[in-house]
Amino acid sequence: MIGIERTKAIVLRRTNYGEADRILTLLTPLGQRSAIARGVRREKSRLAGGIELFAVSDLVLRRGKGSLYTITQARLDCFYRQILQDYDRLQFGYECIRLVERASRDVDIPEWFEVLNETLAGLGDVVSLQLVQVWFYLRYAELTGYELSLVNDVAGQPLDRQKRYMYDSIERGLRLSEQGELTADHIKFLRLAANKSLRLVAQIGGVEQILSGCWLLARQHAGV
């Protein structure tokens, strides 16, 4: 059925096609879309400026008989150009796009768009890179079905703020350990990161000393 759809979108993948076209994998609030941008590689294309990596675009898509949409209008809604100016942020941005592109094919839910959008906004701002990574990895694990328990340890016992913990990569949870590096401060921050927006988490002060430990745990738990 032929129809018109206007949507926000983030480019996940671009593939040159023919002499001047490009096929795009897009992430929208309604899930992934595959679309062709006809003539976009020509110098005077009206679409080219509205379809960029590390950006949110406002697109008009026309659906034909198959699953491939045609992009008829494109406008940049927000372009996080600062990501391009920092190598580490750029590489992590690519990693996020790759992970979300793969995961949203298997778990096609609207939350992926918000997670990737918030992550790109954080990378394009002055937010600590490690903080952005902690937030993204926790969200990624949750949406792929491996939410980190910050209530009970791997033995099923409630976490005790007076005790120390380590991350158990086999059980994918926290294990009580006298030599563990994870304290009540780590767990408190991880709880906030797992339940609040990145913008709110970025306003929390005094986390510099615990951030690297939280980053290591979050990355291990995400399995990336």
Task: CATH number of the domain at 72, please.
Answer: 2.40.50.140
Give me the pLDDT at residue 44, please: 86
**Ordered alpha helix ranges (H), the chain:** 87-106, 111-123, 129-143, 184-195, 198-201, 208-222
* Domain count within the chain: 2
Residues of the chain predicted below pLDDT 50: none
**Domain match, 9 and 33 both:** yes
Together in a domain, 75 and 88: no
Q: What percent of the chain has pLDDT over 90?
A: 87
- pLDDT given for residue 2 in this prediction: 60
Residue 147 near residue 106, CB atoms below 8 Å: no
Same domain (yes/no): 75, 27: yes
Domain boundary among 79, 94, 124: 79
Domain that holds residue 41: 3-79
pLDDT of residue 127: 87
Q: Which of 94, 102, 89 is nearest to 129 (CA)?
A: 89
pLDDT tens readout for residues 39-50: 999 988 889 889
- Do 86 and 50 sit in the same domain of this protein? no
Phi, psi of 4 (to 5 degrees): -115, 135
**Inter-CA distances, 100 with 92, 97, 188, 212, Å:** 12, 5, 27, 23
Q: Tell me: do 12 and 112 sit in the same domain.
A: no
Q: Which of 60, 79, 98 is where one domain is finished?
A: 79
pLDDT confidence of residue 66: 77
Predicted local distance difference test score (pLDDT) of residue 126: 82
- Is the same domain home to 197 and 100? yes
Q: What are phi and psi of 66, to 5 degrees?
A: -95, -160
- CB contact at 8 A, 1 and 63: yes
Last residue of a domain, one of 56, 79, 102: 79
Is the same domain home to 129 and 191? yes
pLDDT of residue 81: 92
Residue 196 is classified by DSSP as: S
